[in-house]
Homo-oligomer: A and B are copies of this chain.
């Protein structure tokens, strides 16, 4: 190594260390450094160790932007969270967070960067632009919210995306979700066993996932059973609490309640209790998601469990298929009834 080697370091010129610098220090060429650092085979042990030593010594890290510019893929996935439903005093079910953790980990395993989709992205065009701008290779939507129309539009484009949520029967895109219809059926069967006749469904069926749960419930109902529906405005504890209280004031009390989330279930229990309508004494109740507090609530809430651990991995796998141009089928993950006190 000649003394000049240090002097020609680009960092000495006030810039950051580049691959060329490492190449010079290790007495190899740039491509060889590249090969070593991206772990491709076909490099001699000597060259490899010299490169690694030089890189470590000079704190060199490959410039990700340059790499991404050069290669066809960005290796970045945009994740879309449904903040709208969680802000402004509405409640965030831990559920989405668990889903995010799962997705994040699955992507990390595949060396994919996770971009949080900016809240300004609303139209299909805007999403397509992000792909064209090479900001990401595809999208994972965590929760459908009121995006049904967006998905239909997006499915007409070549934008790779997967959606967490119910797969609509004729959906042209890949949706991975728990079997919401089954969830509803399980709730219905539970009510039948309890001999309940006047069922109340709490949830906004404008959301596809939630409508499927309602339909499952309806499927399970035999003749002689009456099903009423209480549309709560937001995914919120307070609004559910208020709606539930108002409902009791105007209607005959139900002897079974199926709530779209455990949080909503808690709100119903609280509101009904204030009116003297007690669970499980006066009615059966099934929640959704099996969040930890459900087990320890008083009464312990019977609920439908979703397989969050699997979900992230499967979503990511499907998206990768789509990005690589393959077809990806929608999938339904099984749910099960967790029987507790209600």
Contacts and interface: CB of A to CB of B under 8 A. Distances in A.
A293 interface: yes
Interface string A31-69: 000000000000000000000000000011111111011
A69 B63 CA distance: 8
A94, A114, A271 interface centre (most CB from chain B within 10 Å) = A94
A114 B266 CA distance: 34
Interface in A188-208: none
A245 B258 CA distance: 30
A64 B92 CA distance: 32
A98 interface: yes
Nearest to A133: B61
A133 B98 contact: no
Interface in A132-154: 132-135
A105 interface: yes
B129 A118 contact: no
A149 to B, nearest CB: 20
A16 B132 contact: yes
Contact of A293 (B60, B62, B237): B237
B292 A270 contact: no
Contacts of A104: 81, 83, 116, 118-119
Contacts of A129: 59, 61
Nearest to A132: B61
A128 B298 contact: no
A101 interface: yes
A114 B78 CA distance: 10
Contact of A108 (B61, B119, B236, B295): B119
Interface residues of A, number: 62
Given A59-B128, A61-B133, A270 B291 contact: no
A311 interface: no
B116 A79 contact: yes
B64 A135 contact: yes
A143 to B, nearest CB: 12
Contact of A90 (B116, B134, B292): B292
A296 interface: yes
Contacts of A241: 296
Nearest to A266: B293
Contact of A298 (B68, B270, B293): B270
A236 B295 CA distance: 12
A223 interface: no
B98 A65 contact: no
Contacts of A295: 238
B94 A86 contact: yes
15 contacts: A59-B128, A59-B129, A61-B129, A63-B134, A65-B74, A81-B101, A86-B101, A87-B98, A104-B116, A104-B119, A113-B115, A114-B115, A238-B292, A238-B296, A267-B293
Given A113-B118, A114-B115, 4 more contacts: A83-B101, A92-B92, A113-B115, A114-B116
